[in-house]
Amino acid sequence: MVPFPASGAVCRGRKRENAIMEFKDRRQPPDSWIPWLDQWVADMRFRNLSERSIGYYWYKITDLARLTNKPPWQIVQADLKSYIVRPPSNAARRSTMNAVRNFFGWAKKAGLRTDNPAEDLPPIKRETRHKVPAPETAVGQGLHDADRQTRLMVMLAAEAGLRRAEIAIVRREDVTEDLSGRSLIVHGKGAKDRIVPLTDELADAILASPKGWLFPHVSGKGPVCGDTVYRRIQHATGCSPHTLRHRFATAAYISSGGDIRAVQELLGHESLATTQAYVTVTPLNLRSVVNSVKKYGEGMNVGQAVSASGGMMPATE
């Protein structure tokens, strides 16, 4: 039996004109969801969640509301399962699960529902396999896509290392300039901004766009979502945006002569270990290192080698 809202809960009869209506520049949910979402957003702000997380969670629950076409007190676990499996990757599904659990956990605590349909949802297993960077052929294919916006999405992922959610919210005004050149203010996870230098080609492409969101939603309200960025890059390259980000990390690491701290800054990682997981050492890299060792040895004569070792070269097993 579907539970009705708890006694006294504000859920029906509240008209749109009286609602706070958070994120007015985006597509709004059905009327029955607005008071719940407004209160939920206020609660998340009280708990000091980042605006980026709040906006993402609000978008996911708004999307759920439009797709199910049910009021929030009629949502059951089957609705949630059907919605959570829609995103194309496990990481996106986990993020969707987090939004769903947050909302319905709050609704129960707030007394708007007598149950929590997300409470017993089975966990989504985290992928542990090593990610392979997108091949250069795939990147090249995406950079020659017929759609200008898709080409720009590919450039931001492969040549600047942005996450798909970061790509979605880029604005033309985020490009800055100093004595060293042009850079992009990237609005990253946890409400943390970072500065990523841009190539002239990428900077010109961004500045050639109209002011405002680089990738506006078709409704004219706000930007596209990260899932849209994922689908467009996947369709253009055959690879996920994340593998393009891995490609950027690996290329930056090799090009910088192994400056892992610089790569960490560019990717916006808290942990150096996370950055290390992004860098892929290929057989070609390993062969290059071995060849460099060989050339190093050839550049020293035997006397130099013996002198450098303090006497006879030690025997090795």
Which two tokens mark 76? 């059951």
Distance CA 191, CA 209 (A): 25
Q: Is 245 designated active site?
A: yes
Q: Is 45 designated active site?
A: no
In degrees and rounded to multiples of 5, residue 254 shows phi and psi of -65, -45
Q: Is 52 designated active site?
A: no
Give the amino acid at 202: L
The one catalytic residue in 59, 83, 230, 278 is 278
Please list the residues that pair with 175 across neighbouring strands. 184
The one catalytic residue in 113, 164, 245, 246 is 245
Distance CA 161, CA 268 (A): 9
Q: Is 187 designated active site?
A: no
The one catalytic residue in 14, 93, 189, 231 is 189
Residues 259-293 as b/e (b if ≥16 CB within 10 A, e otherwise) read ebeebbebbbbeeeeebeebbbeeeeeeeeeeeee
Q: Is 278 designated active site?
A: yes
Q: Is 27 designated active site?
A: no
The answer to whether the beta carbons of residues 150 and 233 sit under 8 Å apart is yes
The one catalytic residue in 232, 242, 246, 247 is 242
Closest by Cα among 242, 231, 226 to 63? 226
**CA-atom Rg of the chain in angstroms:** 25
The one catalytic residue in 26, 113, 163, 232 is 163
Pairing of strands 193-197, 181-187: antiparallel
Catalytic residues: 163, 189, 242, 245, 269, 278
